[in-house]
Amino acid sequence: MAPPMFYTKYPHPSNFSFVTDFDAATGRARAGKRQFQFSATSHVDGFFHLAARDPGTWLPNVSLLELDVPGTSPDSRVRVGPGLDLALLDQAGTPLVQSVPGHAFGVCGEASMFLFEVSDDAQFLGMGEKGLGRIELSGVRTKFWNTDVWSDFHWSQWKDHPVDPTYFSTPYVAVRTGGKWVGFLLHNPGVTFMETPGTDRTRVFAEWQRTSRHLILGSENGEPSLWIFTSDDLAGLTRKLQGLVGKTPLPPLWSLGYHQSRWGYGGQKDILELDRQFAKHGIPCTAVWLDLDYMDGARVFQVAPKQFPGGVEATVSRLDSRRRIVPILDPGVKRENGYRVYDDGHAKDVFCHNSEGSEFVGIVWPGETVFPDFTLASAREWWSGYAKEFRQSGFGAAWVDMNDPSTGPVDPTEMLFNRGKEPHALHRNQYALGMQMATREGFMLAEPGERPFILSRSGSTGTSRYSAVWTGDNVSNEFYLRQCVPTTLGMSLSGIPFNGPDVGGFGGDADDELMVRWMQACLLFPFFRNHSTLESRREEPWHYAASTRKQLAHAIRLRHRFLPYLYQLFIGQEELGDPIVRPLIYDFDDPALASVNDEFMVGPFVLHAPVLGVGQTDRNVILPGSDPWYNLSTGKWLPPGEHRLGVPLGSSPLFLRSGAVVPIQPELPTDNRVDLANPVLLVAVPPSWIGETQAEYCADDGLTFDYRKGVRSKGTVSVSGATARWDQTQSGFGSLHPVIAWPVGSPVEVVGSSGPSEKLDLQFLGRALKWEATTLSR
């Protein structure tokens, strides 16, 4: 099947034959003239699976991702009528989800679709990387097909308008309907699509353009496979999704710091100068990134000798020991006899074929290139061998790019898989996933005791197991600044929690105010990297005016001050599946909050309402729930509700929830050191508060897998009204010595303190605040 050249055209139910006859005993279904097998199974914990099979139409599911499927339930909670009318039931036998009568499942050639009824007030969230500027996605038709946005669309589209589809495909939607939450995941790496009821007035100028009044989920090719699961709240639903597709393995602590990148950094000379400047200005930076310039003629896995005269290890030995070098890796291999990587891959037949039986050739950075067929285990093993060598040479991580896959001006239709037997469209969306799997495996072979870090541009469902994601090439303007929040939140709700944009924008020039606002907005995002293109102005903090440099440095230092808290959130992601950043509706189940696109929670305790534009001096802030919030810019408690706040350039409203327990570093860091054993635990207790909170704090070496062997220390902070208590519960990493701090004016009794309280200066966005603090007995 050819790639879908019409990105904004979608299959319509009128062209489909829907099942009219279904035999539950045999699973035989009839739709028009077609017969095939259909199954509807119940699984434990509220999971359901719907699938169709017909070897004459669809290959068996070709996904590289093996879902962590819950066991089947002996108590079937799927009710199926003779026309395949479906009802998924709760434990009391009440329907949670129902198909559209007479239109449960339809086929049209290789294409298929499911139709479901939803309530009139239904809300739709997720869909991964959609970049539509909002988190609630009613009235949307969308396709899931990984694109190279800057190559596949004209600049007048992507410069300052929403583009769909983008680099990343996650065909998942979370639906609030009938007071419950329902998740729908199309487990199919082929071309998938969705249509949600409602009116998106930016797309509707005639009545016939309105979307269906039903939820439509479908595939243009590939074996139909739909997972459905339910929960009483969005948090429970998201944890179920993450458990199904794979939680994010705990990353190394250094990967959560600030990263500096630019197309143009070449090798040792640039790296050592960056190292010197960050030390000179007292700005933390845990990684410097290299784009194409470090390569020998853009040949993957081949370093230009002039860039590292003494080898990569020699350069690493001269760096701050807490700073990594992260180079780019593209999948395109230069087609050149005598080039070791090409000769070896050609001999082992690991590259994609075309219809003529020869290697498919695209044109990207090295010129004519061939592409590893990552659907083949042999190709992934081949790539991982080179990735192992690459990691052992001294590089600290990898950035896998152009894996949409980008083929330049060459039509990818003829890029075939499984040695030419399977069409491009069947595997395109999981091409990056295969590259991530192979790269991570190579890194594990190189350093089996160390947690690897990989960043990817493209990907699909399951990428969470292997790689972090940045949201692709963007532009230094207000449009991309505004949309970075809903885009990141959409991915977080779709099983890709470790993500973030190019801070400041990749293309174009970020002026002083825009860069400050962008740095502030993203300072608590899961991934935090400044990256810019070759032609743009220099965006390192010291290339801005002194006053701007001071504000950029402060935002970066504040990021590093919060690293203990962010690290706890990643521990929680690995264990439970909670995202690091999430929309307000995640923690506060109020339907009205689904329309809040410019605020977000960082974990359960911190709310950020950044300024997403230039020239702003005030903004509205919604503080949800029923308890007060502590403003880290002013040191004042604010009641829940809507507020109009001043936001001078040095301010980006940041709040702590009542009862919050937030671990931070004691001082505002000026380098990359993090002491997880000696945190300050901010306990935000408003006067006369009578609530209760309990939070666990963990410390380990931040780098190895030893924590899985018990080399981790844990403690619990219990807050009840004005009393706080610390109990260390595990000592595999040694004793923990936290300091408990609380806002001045909020009397707190700390059980087990070693002495009288003292004043603590804490700098956040705004003025320095006085907190009271006490050290616990040791």
CB-neighbour burial class of residue 53 (10 A; exposed 0-12, middle 13-18, buried 19+): middle
Number of CB atoms found within 10 A of residue 729's CB:
12
Distance separating alpha carbons of residues 41 and 55, to the nearest angstrom:
20
Distance separating alpha carbons of residues 431 and 467, to the nearest angstrom:
13
Distance separating alpha carbons of residues 420 and 356, to the nearest angstrom:
9
Q: Which of 468, 368, 367, 360 is nearest to 419 (CA)?
A: 360
CA atoms lying within 13 Å on the CB side of residue 631: 23
320 is catalytic: no
DSSP category for residue 59:
P
Cis peptide bond N-terminal to 591, omega within 30: no
Distance separating alpha carbons of residues 525 and 521, to the nearest angstrom:
8
**Helix runs in 400-464, H state only:** 424-427, 431-446
Tokens of 330: 């593209």
Dihedral class, residue 419 (left if φ above 0, else alpha if ψ from -120 to 50, else beta): left
Distance separating alpha carbons of residues 715 and 768, to the nearest angstrom:
29
**Helix runs in 288-430, H state only:** 312-316, 340-347, 377-392, 424-427
Q: Which of 531, 558, 581, 564 is nearest to 650 (CA)?
A: 558
Q: Which of 31, 190, 177 is nearest to 116 (CA)?
A: 177
Q: Which residue of the set 85, 373, 473, 502 is catalytic?
A: 473
148 is catalytic: no
DSSP category for residue 250:
P
CB-neighbour burial class of residue 71 (10 A; exposed 0-12, middle 13-18, buried 19+): exposed
Number of CB atoms found within 10 A of residue 416's CB:
21
Query: At 323, phi and psi to the nearest 5?
Result: -120, 135
Per the CB < 8 A criterion, the answer to whether 659 and 723 are in contact is no
Q: Which of 285, 189, 738 is nearest to 528 (CA)?
A: 285
Distance separating alpha carbons of residues 37 and 20, to the nearest angstrom:
13
Query: At 336, phi and psi to the nearest 5?
Result: -150, 115
Bridge pairing between strands 105-108 and 168-169: unpaired
Distance separating alpha carbons of residues 677 and 697, to the nearest angstrom:
10
Q: Which residue of the set 148, 401, 587, 598 is catalytic?
A: 401
C-alpha of 681 from chain center: 27
Distance separating alpha carbons of residues 468 and 531, to the nearest angstrom:
16
Residue with tokens 């029923």, as numbered in its chain: 626
Cis peptide bond N-terminal to 165, omega within 30: yes
Q: How far apart are the first and last CA of the chain?
A: 67
- The torsion of the CA quartet 670, 674, 678, 684, rounded to 10 degrees, works out to 70
Per the CB < 8 A criterion, the answer to whether 541 and 508 are in contact is no
Q: What is the 3-state secondary structure (H, E, C) of 139-179?
A: CCEEEECCCCHHHHCCHHHHCCCCCCCCCEECCEEEEEECC
Residue with tokens 């005791």, as numbered in its chain: 449
Query: What is the longest distance spanned by two Cα atoms in the chain?
Result: 83
Q: Among all residues, which ones are annotated catalytic?
A: 401, 473
